[in-house]
Structure 1
């Protein structure tokens, strides 16, 4: 099992001037601790589960380009881009640029979008859910076509591209990996089975994660895709401390052994990789513990493998 880090909170003391140095240090600390990936949300307003919309929020791809420039090995992506935020041709160009400048470390994380408030706030059209999923499938088709070097016209129901040119090509071949976020059993899982290299689930408990894996396995069978070709990732939240006792903030923490046990249970439920929302992400000392967790779970494999 590999560990990634998602940074979703940028409201640190001294903002806005402190955001760049703090985020850069987090990216370097995550890489030095052996984490395999770094993710940011692709939102323009902060989301309700974390805080009010007025809290600081960075544009995703600018933030990832900055992080890539601060690091040399860690892979970078959004968890995940709403398909409505950018025209697919521009999105593919953006991810390709990130891949080229990072030396082949970019992912395309994508989903159907859900935050209506930020759409309306910034004047971005917010179509009904059915149309959003139609757009998502067309965006996936466009991405794969552009990354294959096929410049022939694309004509979909919602998008038309006369010449989907993508130069320079991505460094990662055959293309930057595609991760689809969400747990919808009918539409999202089908798109994962048909187009994605990875999926991302929420940590909804081991029983529900097993059900999600079974549903995905069924969709893979329907489209003739090997279930093992798709990496199952889970987004889970924890804070780490040497003792595992409650932090001064009142937030519960996990010891290294407790974190390893928890991640092991997620692997038993079918998860290949875990992406952490680290509650004490700005504490450099936390990454010494993260490094220990990374070493201990390196040999842990999904029960499905």
Structure 2
């Protein structure tokens, strides 16, 4: 099992003046501690279960560029971009830029999006859910076309691109990894089977069912189910001095038993740095040998 770090909250005790230096220390510590990836939410306002909208929230791709400069090995991604935030041609260019400047470590994390409050607040168009799913499908097609180097016009229902040129081309070949977030059984998991290198799910007891649905979508389109990395969002709470490590390792065993291969989690009080170091020293080695276990009986 691999562990990824997500940083969803930037409201730290030292305030904005030291936010950059604190984030750099977090990134360097996580990179050296063995986290497989470092990600940030792609939100413009803080989301409800983490705090009020007025709390500090950094723009995702600018932050990933900063993280790239302060790391050397971890994958870099949003968890995840709302498809309606950015035009797909510009999104492909943005992820490509991150990939080139990080030496081939960029992933595209993407989903249908949901936060109407921040979209309305900043004047970002927020179409109905059905339209956002159409945008998601076309965005994935456009990104893959641009990463193939195909400059022919793209004519979709949602987007039209006269010349989808992508220069420089991504270092990652055949393209930066694609992770689709969400657990909708009819649309989201179908898009995972068709386009994605990874799925990102919620850590609920119905994970085996969701993965079985994904397996069915893979069979329907002739995709090898085992090619898709199964990830789940989570929180890593090791306690004040590591007293909760054993409990955390047990919960990660539980996720592996349901078929999860990579856990992408926030670290409680990450700004203290010590919790990150504890995860690196005690948790990552403890779960490194865990292998996801299929529970579908196949």
* TM-score normalised by the chain length of structure 1: 0.94
User: 1:179 aligns to what SS in structure 2?
Assistant: strand
User: 2:76 aligns to what SS in structure 1?
Assistant: strand
Give CA deviations for 1:177-223 in whole Å, capped at 9, x if unaligned: 0000001111000000000000101112xx31111111111111111
User: Which residue does 1:40 correspond to in 2?
Assistant: 40
User: 1:18 aligns to what SS in structure 2?
Assistant: helix
User: 2:266 aligns to what SS in structure 1?
Assistant: strand
How many residue pairs end up in the alignment?
294
Aligned with 1:235 (options 208, 213, 233): 233
| Mapped partners of 2:107, 2:71: distance in 1 | 15
User: Which residue does 1:145 correspond to in 2?
Assistant: 145
| Mapped partners of 2:231, 2:109: distance in 1 | 12
CA pair 67-244 structure 1, distance change in 2 beyond 3 A? closer
User: Which residue does 2:288 correspond to in 1?
Assistant: 298
Map residues 120-139 of structure 1 onto 2, 5 A cutoff: 120-139=120-139
| Mapped partners of 1:238, 1:73: distance in 2 | 21
User: Which residue does 2:101 correspond to in 1?
Assistant: 101
| Mapped partners of 1:16, 1:216: distance in 2 | 42
CA drift of 1:287 comes to 2.4
| Mapped partners of 2:276, 2:61: distance in 1 | 24
User: Which residue does 2:209 correspond to in 1?
Assistant: 211
Q: Which moved more, 1:21-30 or 1:285-294?
A: 285-294
Displacement over 2 Å in runs of 4+: 241-245
User: Which residue does 1:7 correspond to in 2?
Assistant: 7
Q: Does 1:262 align with 2:251?
A: yes
CA-based RMSD of the aligned residues comes to 1.2
| Mapped partners of 1:29, 1:280: distance in 2 | 14
Map residues 1-305 of structure 1 onto 2, 5 A cutoff: 1-204=1-204, 207-241=205-239, 254-255=244-245, 257-291=246-280, 292-304=282-294
Unmatched 5+ stretches in structure 1: 246-253
Contact 1:242–1:289 (CA under 8 A) maintained in structure 2: no
CA drift of 1:243 comes to 6.0
